[in-house]
Amino acid sequence: MNKKQLDIQRKYYVSNYLQRGIDHLRIARLNKGLGFKIAERQALGFHGLLPPAVWTQKQLVEHSWNFLNRKENNFEKYIYLMELLDINLKLFHQLVYEHIEDIMPLIYRPTINQTCPKFHYLTRFPKGLYISLYDEGNVYKLVKNWPSSEVRAIILTDGERALESEDAGALGMCLPTGKSLLYTTMAGVKPVYCLPVLIDVGTNSQEQLNDKFYVGINKKRVTGKIFEELVDEFMRAAVRCFGPNVLIQFDGFSTKHNFLFLNKFKNDYCVFNDDIESTGAAVLSGIVTASKIVYPKNKMGFISYNCFVLVGAGSANLGNADVIVEAMKAEGLTEQEAIDRIFILDSKGLIVKSRHDLNVNKRRFAKDLKPMKTIEEVLKLVRPTVLIGATGAGELFTSEMIKDMAKYNKLPVVISISRPESEAELTAENAYKYANGKILFAGGSNDFPITPVTHRGKTYYPKQAHNSHIFPGIVLGATAVRLRFITTEMFFQAAKIVSKYVTKEEMDVGSLYPSMSKIKEISLDIAVEIAKIGYRTGMALHLPEPKNIKEYILNEQYRNEYVPSLQIHPWGEEERE
């Protein structure tokens, strides 16, 4: 900047925002801390309120990373990160992006399992919107109270499964707030587009009900018609406030309500369910990668060669089954042919047609076979190539089961998505031990990434079957082109894209998923693909269709980098000479 330009900057400046002066230190989206240049500090009127040093954002990230690592445990690290989020928004997201594999477990699972019960002690500023049982008839007024009218993506929970196996009640707000951070960090969805919402209808956690400082509705959880009508009212209020293409992601509901609301709303609203659809796509992605490894000539990763046994019939595994069916249909199978390759067990054994206790989602996969109570019976009959566990019941997959699978498969594929590790059907260590290294394994361990396993001199690097590979890109694409609906095809395509990012070197050491360091590129590719599907099917409401969709979405993404707090341009005859 030459002298004349500097003189102009001192005389005439235009701020990026309506706020002036000291607001740039107080408002997280404006604050740059020591990143403010001296000219900015002087022009905005807070020169002298910061130490004289001027640091680059790179220096600030290094400083924050160093300070974070001085914290003694993950809980303290979480507190520091949330404080940074409330003070310096761009610095927070840049720090997370540069250290994604280390920080993701701190702002999401497993650390939120620790922070949820204490969430009311940790929240200093509003992090989301609370709709309570007593707001019936007035939900629209509450939604309008949200200070941004630019909302494009809502993360909705009732807190019942925010802690996976425990009812968090109102403290379950930690789940949608954590998801909204991942939207931005992993895909570049603008923070102003994101709205975490919790519907509070009580809790069945006696610990919370006995806590005199519990901040939610202090009564047993209300279900049935009253609860469903409250969710209905919220859905109507959301589209009334933010438009018919506002995306609503359901997360942390019970299995019953996951399917109830997905089936009820998917044809009228832009919705998806993270526990069902994102998890299903994540598991499918691992299967696609495994198919490329097992069948080297199968460059496209076709999965129709496989036969599947799914243990557990909750939201996750029924979602897995749905997406697997969609993938096989895309490969040319009929729906029934695809279903015939999938065998599902619940707590009572194999799902068969003679049972009278099956809901509609289970009945779809019922087999015309005699009842079988145990996993061993089913495995001996079916001889599957792929075994998937989602029960949370601990180590159900025994040494004998895995050894048998290794006998009749070149490389058996086992995906155990339950977490924490104490609830997993199979651990990584035991998987390689039981199969003598002859296995492809992915887990749901809370260790992120999963601790490498060395067996007979070879070190394996199994990865998590993690839905965070999937949903950020789905949300980015949907919000960028204003999708009217989310379809199963979009999740199937997202799974294929994630698999494409797994390198041969990663496959050679047992990884079925790519490194999280690639997540922004993965999310962008997913967003572009579902945007194309949206325009092809007439579901994308952003018109006209961009000539270059990728370039358009890139321009829509949030930027973590600091920008000048002053924007100037010559004005008047004197300055233009």
Q: Is the bond preceding 462 in cis, omega lying within 30 degrees of 0? A: no
Q: What is the DSSP letter of 367?
A: B
CATH number of the domain that residue 29 is part of: 1.20.1370.30
179 catalytic? Reply is: yes
pLDDT for the residue 5: 52
Q: 302 and 412 share a domain?
A: yes
Nearest CA-CA partner of 420 in 81, 204, 74, 163 = 163
Cα-to-chain-centroid distance, residue 138: 30
Q: Give 70-106 pLDDT, tens digit per residue.
A: 999 998 999 999 999 999 999 999 999 999 989 988 8
Q: 311 and 418 share a domain?
A: yes
Q: How far apart are CA 250 and CA 221, in angstroms?
A: 18
Taking residues 55-80, report their average pLDDT: 95
Q: Is residue 392 part of a domain?
A: yes
| Rounded (to 5) percent helix, strand, coil in the chain | 50, 10, 40
**Domain limit, last residue, from 226, 244, 273:** 273
**Domain limit, last residue, from 99, 125, 152:** 99
Per-residue pLDDT at 10 exceeds 50: no
535 catalytic? Reply is: no
**Percentage of residues in the chain having pLDDT higher than 90:** 75
Least confident residue range of 13-17, 376-380, 504-508? 13-17
pLDDT for the residue 447: 56
* 414 φ/ψ angles, rounded to the nearest 5 degrees: -125, 125
Q: Is residue 290 part of a domain?
A: yes
Residues 143, 241 contacting (CB under 8 angstroms)? yes
Of 127, 179, 190, 329, catalytic: 179
Q: Is the bond preceding 544 in cis, omega lying within 30 degrees of 0? A: yes
Taking residues 537-562, report their average pLDDT: 96
Q: Is the bond preceding 449 in cis, omega lying within 30 degrees of 0? A: yes
Q: Give 346-401 pLDDT, tens digit per residue.
A: 999 999 999 999 998 899 999 999 999 999 999 999 999 999 999 988 899 999 99
Q: Is residue 469 part of a domain?
A: yes
Q: Is residue 556 part of a domain?
A: no
DSSP H helical segments within 270-413, as ranges?
279-294, 315-330, 335-340, 360-363, 375-382, 399-408
Q: 376 and 230 share a domain?
A: no
Q: 61 and 121 share a domain?
A: no
422: how many CB neighbours lie within 10 A of its CB? 12
Strand order in the sheet with 308-311: 349-350, 342-346, 308-311, 386-389, 413-416, 440-443
Taking residues 307-327, report their average pLDDT: 93
- Counted domains in the chain: 3
Any idea what the Cα angle at residue 318 is, between residues 421 and 384, rounded to 5°?
A: 75
Q: pLDDT band for 16, please (50, 70, 90 cuts).
A: very low
The larger pLDDT score, comparing residue 220 to residue 127, is at: 220
pLDDT for the residue 451: 84
- The residue range of the domain holding 507 is 278-524
pLDDT for the residue 577: 52
Per-residue pLDDT at 18 exceeds 60: no
Q: 432 and 452 share a domain?
A: yes
Q: 77 and 120 share a domain?
A: no
Record the pTM. 0.91
Q: How far apart are CA 52 and CA 552, in angstroms?
A: 40
Of 78, 108, 183, 535, catalytic: 108
Taking residues 176-180, report their average pLDDT: 92
Q: pLDDT band for 4, please (50, 70, 90 cuts).
A: low
The pair of structure tokens assigned to 130 is 């609370």
pLDDT for the residue 13: 43
pLDDT for the residue 298: 65
161 known ligand binder: yes
The larger pLDDT score, comparing residue 128 to residue 451, is at: 128
**Domain limit, last residue, from 273, 306, 336:** 273
Whether the CA torsion 139, 141, 145, 146 is positive or negative: it is positive
Residues 527, 319 contacting (CB under 8 angstroms)? no
Q: Is residue 562 part of a domain?
A: no
Amino acid in the structure at residue 495: A
Q: pLDDT band for 176, please (50, 70, 90 cuts).
A: very high
pLDDT for the residue 101: 87
